[in-house]
């Protein structure tokens, strides 16, 4: 019987075991940096600010803040109503009720701050809500009146409700 010796590597020597299991640093190709800062509506969305100032009834809010939040809320409610129609009456009604209850306080606070921006008292909103309880054409006129008031520009410079909003 012949004894066989272990085979010797031909050419170069095998690396030590300790270096075989070391992790190698792999550098991945990186995507090029964006050309500039992200758009303002994405980086600092003004339509989400009323949710950050959830129940803050003092101070002022600009037309941009009011209308962008109102538009975002309208679109969200439209999508939720379409979802509610697709899933059925009971579940849909529950989802719509939860969203409306979750957004009513920020919307009322935003409306009060918008009235403050025009140097008007937030109690004016109560005068707009009373006709809604009565109903009929008076409620329609109150809604149109509130819509017109919300489109008016705010007072330039500080007023009795504070300095202008930073937006």
pLDDT at residue number 53: 84
Contacts of 50 (CB under 8 A, 6+ apart): 61, 65, 69, 106, 107, 109, 110
CB 92 within 8 A of CB 144: no
pLDDT at residue number 80: 87
pLDDT at residue number 67: 93
For the chain, list residues with pLDDT below 50. Answer: none
| SS3 (DSSP) at 120 | coil
101: phi then psi, degrees, rounded to nearest 5: -65, -35
pLDDT at residue number 118: 92
Q: How many helices (H) and strands (E) does the chain have?
A: 7, 0
Domain ranges, ordered by start, for the chain: 46-151
pLDDT at residue number 132: 74
pLDDT at residue number 19: 54
């Amino acid at each position: 019987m012949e004894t066989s010796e272990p085979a010797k590597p031909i050419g170069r020597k095998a690396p030590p075991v300790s270096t075989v299991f070391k992790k190698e640093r792999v550098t991945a190709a990186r995507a090029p940096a964006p050309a500039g800062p992200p758009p303002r509506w994405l980086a600092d969305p003004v339509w989400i600010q009323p949710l950050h100032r959830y129940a803050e009834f003092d101070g002022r809010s600009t037309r941009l803040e009011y209308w962008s939040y109102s538009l975002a809320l309208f679109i969200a409610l439209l999508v939720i109503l379409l979802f509610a129609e697709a899933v059925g009456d009971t579940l849909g009604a529950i989802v719509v009720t939860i969203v409306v209850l979750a957004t009513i306080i920020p919307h009322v606070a935003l409306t009060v701050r918008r009235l403050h921006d025009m140097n008007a008292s937030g109690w004016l909103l109560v005068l707009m809500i009373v006709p809604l309880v009565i109903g009929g054409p008076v409620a329609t006129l109150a809604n149109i009146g509130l819509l017109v008031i919300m489109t008016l520009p705010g007072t330039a410079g500080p007023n009795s409700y504070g300095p202008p909003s930073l937006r």
